[in-house]
Structure 1
Amino acid sequence: MLLYHHIMNFERSFKKGVFIVFLLFIISCNNQANNNVNGDSYNPQSPVEEIAEGTPEAILRVLQEKDSTSLFERDSIKTFYKARANKPVWSDTQFRNAFLDTLKNAKYQGFLFEDFHGNEIENLTKNLQDRSSEEISALDIYLTDAFFKYGKQLWYGKTNPKKLHEIWDLTRKKISISKLLNESIDKNDLSFAIKKLGPINPIYNKLILAAKEQSILMEKDSSKFMKIEIGKTIKPENSDPRMPIIKARLQQLGYLKDADTSSVNSKTSEKAIKAFQQDHGLMIDGIIGNATLYNLNKSAKDWYNILQVNLERWRWYPRELGSDYILVNVADFKLEFIKNGKFKDEHKIVVGLPSRETPVFSDEIENIVLNPSWYIPPTIKIKDVIPGARKDPNYINKKHLNVISQSGERLDPLNVNWNSKEVYSYRFKQDPGSANPLGQVKINFPNKHLIYLHDTNSKSLFSNNARSNSSGCVRVEGVIDLAKELLSDQKQYNSDKVDELLASGKTRYIKLTTPVKIYIFYWTAWRENGKTHFTHDIYNDDEKILKALNTIH
């Protein structure tokens, strides 16, 4: 079951005003760093000591004196202070320390204190009682600037997904950082803003926990990590000189209690390999092939980086998904259906080839087509159909395709000049039937990417562990059952009626009466049942995102 099925219960509770649930979430996030290696809460100064206060006059002077490179959000900060007559923001010790705690504790989310004026803030908060009003005002400005930067990165992400993906079609609501901060000031409650800015789903919070655990492994890993040589496959009960290193690695990762020095892939090591394979999205067979070795050769730091990449992804994604929706994880080849806020079902899927990626986007399902015709999309027409017809005059007939001119005339493929430019204006259609790649069902959510969910006449692909075989659309195992679930609120289309319509062989369009959103996402790490899981990055996106994250400070 996909990890995300818990989200709707969380969202519904949040919307109903069950504040205590979210309060626990905020506390847990703040407590993560409290439990880490540096786990002290920020308390540079006893709150009972007398300290100078920032003043509107001093804040204005500091803002005028600071050059444009010393602040991240100079224009926004000046506008913010001007709107509040340059009054200081962080005079309240508890309010100030709440933000400092938040920044200090955010490192497992990839936010480093030093990237938010950390050094300046650290210096200014030492011996606060000896600071002048000017210095306290500078501290106030640094904290506000840090909050604006942190708020924007928490809400939108540190990087721009549109620059990292050929197709990225998710829209995000804009948010006013200054309004949120002012509301928090009025309430004297910083958590009011933080909970509005951060992802509210459990996946994000659990990834933080996974990153914390992985950081502990990083400390143990640094002195003991040895690369395992790639080579021939090691089957269960086989001997291989690499086995002692493999067993040591499995013990280091927590999959083996004791690592012997035998060169045999024993029953015990086979069991450990299977557990490792399951957690890393590999074929669970106990056989140590190159894919398993590739993953075993990743250091704790490598896995930590992958968790950071996925935290960034969830900052990009919408905060609320609704009560009825389909969630697709392209990287894990899985689809989950949520109905009335509860997990309904999970399906295996086949997604786009690396050369024809299934894009990240969201839409709303409009209708279901039973016994659909297939109109060849442009990519397949240009890359497959026309080149195929040029090589083989019988290609079109072999594929059971109809050729339709711009005027709507059906053409004889044997009389078409396939080398002419005119063929690019033709449409290609395949009628319903056993040869139709869409199978018996198509689930439509009209979009500019020409992506939809559908059945397939190549059902054997669902037995593969890796299933990136399509031209971009999403093939769904058990799609007839999914269609019936989507139509279950329409009594006239009960299960028997749908079966009857399918058996007729005639095309039938059925409009959905209950709106159902679909989210096609891509993520390669999550936490489930107390364990961190990874899956293969089929589109090699992790490395691009990590590289971009490493350039952001």
Structure 2
Amino acid sequence: MTPIHYPFARAMALALLVSGLFAAPQPVQAQTTAFKQAVAESVARDEDLASFYRARNFAGLWTGTSDEARLRRNALLTAFANAGNHALPEATYDPDALVARIQSAQTAADKGAMDVEISELYLSYARALQTGILTPGRVIPAIKREVPLRSSLSYLEGIESGNPSAYLASLAPTAPEYARLLREKLRLERLVSVGGWGPTVPGGKLEPGDTGAAVVALRDRLVAMGYLERSATQTYDGAITMAVQAFQEAHGLEVDGIAGESTLDELNVPVTTRLQHVIVAMERERWLNQPRGERHIWVNMTDYSAAIIDNDIVTFQTRSVIGATSSDRQTPEFSDEMEHMVINPSWYVPRSIIVNEYLPALQRNRNAVSHILVTDSRGRPVNRGAVNFRQYNARTFPFSMRQPPSSRNALGLVKFMFPNRYNIYLHDTPAKSLFGRNVRAFSHGCVRLNDPFDFAYALLAKQESDPEGYFQSILRSGNETRVNLEEHVPVHLVYRTAFTNTTGELNFRRDIYGRDARIWNALAGEGVEIRAVEG
């Protein structure tokens, strides 16, 4: 755990020192040649750097005594001094270490090589701040997200041609959520410096009317966390009940006002762990650092929710069921565009389900799963009595399977399509009881919606004067019908264990798939640390 620094004052002192280092007399021609030769040799391993420096005739970008070079150095040192605020590895972007390396560059050739080294460090910082430290798919294969990477040339040209301080400030994600997470990170770091939220609450169920030391510990913990005004009560009274309910709401728990096992488990999570969740959420924001769409669909798996968002305002939200926790059923993370919905859909059974679940059942009993048709390569129903299912295995089974439209269909009565290689979509379900559960990870990977009809009406309202009447008329027909969306809607399947709500309050959810724990370990491996910030 690292203590806080005072970045601005520190950066200014370093800037003055570096300015002095570069305030040497104008080099002679031989020194200029040696400098440029060193630059040319140093950039040879990177085509973007080589192209950029070649266009500058191998002149320095950061070194020298010009006002432009001085402004770039000062801006970069200030940015590096603030790197920890953005949860970037402070040791990697340590301005003191950079100044020490600059001091060691005495000859013109050394300074040429140093100019390129600063550029490489700057590029590493710019990429980390704008699009993330990690490559998500390498950490967790189920994260299929295409990170919006920028080119090295764009970063180099940006720092060269614009106001360097303003340009560096523009690299961080501009989404309001990132700013709110950054604010909450700094708040939690201040809490770390004073010992967090204090003693944990002893185990055992606590409920309204209880008294004693455990209730006092609960009271004090809720006060420290900001859910309860200061109080001297030793009784689990109405104020504590309301505070517990607010805590439960912010942590995705059953809101009953009773501090049972699940609630106490979440209450006793240390502030350092919560800080890890926020840091991971910031990294995830960087992976998604691009326009999300004025209207878009936001599916947060850990919250078991799906929302339609218009101009940053949630205009519709419903509960969802996501993929089960086994590795082969987890819902992947990616973004795409919703193109159409299908009312009264057939369910075309995925090959993995056919061979892993249904074929063994058919081998035991040819009339198993009788509500699903066995079909040939042209989609025609196959007479089960004419097939010896035991002669096939998962590789050789030649048939497909389809469940016709009905209220019992696995997809329910409507599905929402954003065609993708993972065969993931949103859909209705006949298994309505699952939405009453607190943890809702049961599907084969697709996302089931609690209120699919209302979801459809909200989408169709952009193109139909009577969206409900239009939808219901097709539904009553019983015919499988594709309805195109005149304007495609971006869909973002995300996984956030830390996020803010519409009022800016920080929320936490359980790491149902264990993904954020793995991301934190990877970030820590890159040098990201938990800090304690004073004041």
TM-score interval, smaller chain:
0.7 to 0.9
Percent identity at matched positions?
A: 27
Question: Which amino acid letter does the alignment assign opposite residue 119 of structure 2?
Answer: T
Give the structure 2 partner of residue 43 of structure 1: 12
Distance, in Å, in 2 between the alignment partners of 1:339 and 1:433 is 33
Note if 1:367 corresponds to 2:344.
no
For the Cα contact (< 8 Å) 2:460–2:485, is it kept in 1?
yes
Whether contact under 8 Å (1:103, 1:112) holds in the other structure is: no
**2:530 aligns to what?**
none
Within 2, Cα distance between the matches of 1:323 and 1:84?
A: 40
Give the TM-score taking structure 2 as reference length: 0.84
Distance 1:269 1:201 in 2: 35
Q: 2:267 aligns with which of 269, 288, 296?
A: 296
Query: Are residue 211 (structure 1) and residue 198 (structure 2) matched?
Result: no
Q: Deviations over 1:283-314 (max 9, x none)?
A: 22122223222222221111111111111111
Give 2:250's match in structure 1, choosing from 273, 279, 283.
279
SS, match of residue 390 in structure 2: coil
TM superposition shift of 1:546 = 0.6
Cα distance, 1:516 vs. partner?
A: 1.9
Paired position in structure 2 for 1:258: 230
2:405 aligned residue: 432
Write out aligned runs for 1:326-345 (5 A). Answer: 326-339=297-310, 343-345=314-316
**Corresponding residue to 2:424 among 451, 457, 481:** 451
Structure 1 counterpart of 2:524: 550
Q: TM-score, normalised by structure 1?
A: 0.81
> Hey, what does 1:538 align to over in structure 2?
512
Look up the match of 1:315. 286
Length, aligned pairs only: 506
Counterpart AA for 2:79 = T
Offset at 1:123? 3.2
> What is the CA–CA distance in structure 2 between the aligned matches of 1:250 and 1:474, rounded to whole Å?
35
TM-fit CA distance, 1:394: 4.6
Distance, in Å, in 1 between the alignment partners of 2:353 and 2:192 is 46
SS in 1 for 2:521: helix
Whether the 8 Å CA contact 1:53–1:133 is kept in 2: the answer is no
Q: How does 1:126-205 map to 2 (within 5 A)?
A: 140-192=115-167, 194-195=169-170, 197-205=171-179
Measured after TM superposition, the shift of residue 259 of structure 1 is: 6.1
Superposed counterparts of 1:113-128, under 5 Å:
113-116=90-93, 118-123=95-100
Q: Is the 8 A contact 1:351 1:468 kept in 2?
A: yes
1:40 aligned partner, one-letter code:
F
AA paired with 2:506?
A: T
Q: By how many angstroms is 1:166 displaced?
A: 2.8
In the TM superposition, what whole-angstrom CA distance separates every residue of 1:367-394 from its partner, at most 9, and x where no partner exists? 2111111111223323433344445555
Q: Secondary structure at the match of 1:169?
A: coil
1:8-19 aligned within 5 A? none
Letter in 2 for 1:255: Y
1:510 to 474, 483, 488: 483
Residue pair 1:436, 1:457 contacting (<8 A) in 2 also: yes
**Which amino acid is 1:550 matched to?**
A
Superposition CA RMSD, Å = 3.4
- Secondary structure in structure 2 of the residue aligned to 1:258: coil
Give per-residue Cα distances to partners, 1:456-484, cap 9 Å, x unaligned. Answer: 21223223332222211111222222223
Matched residues in 1 for 2:75 and 2:297: separation?
Answer: 38
Q: For residue 186 of structure 1, what is the amino acid of its counterpart?
A: S
- SS of the equivalent of 1:168 reads coil
**Secondary structure in structure 2 of the residue aligned to 1:113:** coil
1:110 equivalent in alignment to 2:84: no
Indicate how the Cα distance of structure 1 residues 345 and 138 shifts in structure 2: closer, same or farther if over 3 A, else same: same
Decide whether aligned partners of structure 1 residues 406 and 178 sit closer, same or farther in structure 2, where only a CA change above 3 A counts: closer
Which amino acid is the alignment partner of residue 282 of structure 1? Answer: L
Counterparts in 2 of 1:404-553, with a 5 A limit?
A: 404-406=375-377, 408-413=379-384, 416-421=387-392, 424-491=397-464, 494-528=467-501, 529-553=503-527
Separation in 1 of the partners of 2:91 and 2:35?
23
Kindly state the Cα deviation for residue 162 of structure 1 after the two structures are TM-superposed: 0.8
Matched, 1:101 2:78: yes
State the alpha-carbon separation in 2 of the partners of residues 164 and 83 from structure 1.
37
SS at match of 1:171: coil
CA distance in 1, matches of 2:179, 2:382: 58
Could you tell me whether the CA contact under 8 Å between 1:305 and 1:546 is conserved in 2? yes
Report the counterpart of residue 385 of structure 1 in structure 2: 358
Residues 350 and 470 of structure 1 are in contact (CA less than 8 Å); yes or no, is this contact kept in structure 2?
yes
Task: Tell me which residue corresponds to 1:247.
Answer: 219
**Stretches of structure 1 lacking an aligned partner (at least 5 in a row):** 1-35
Give secondary structure in 2 for the equivalent of 1:335. strand
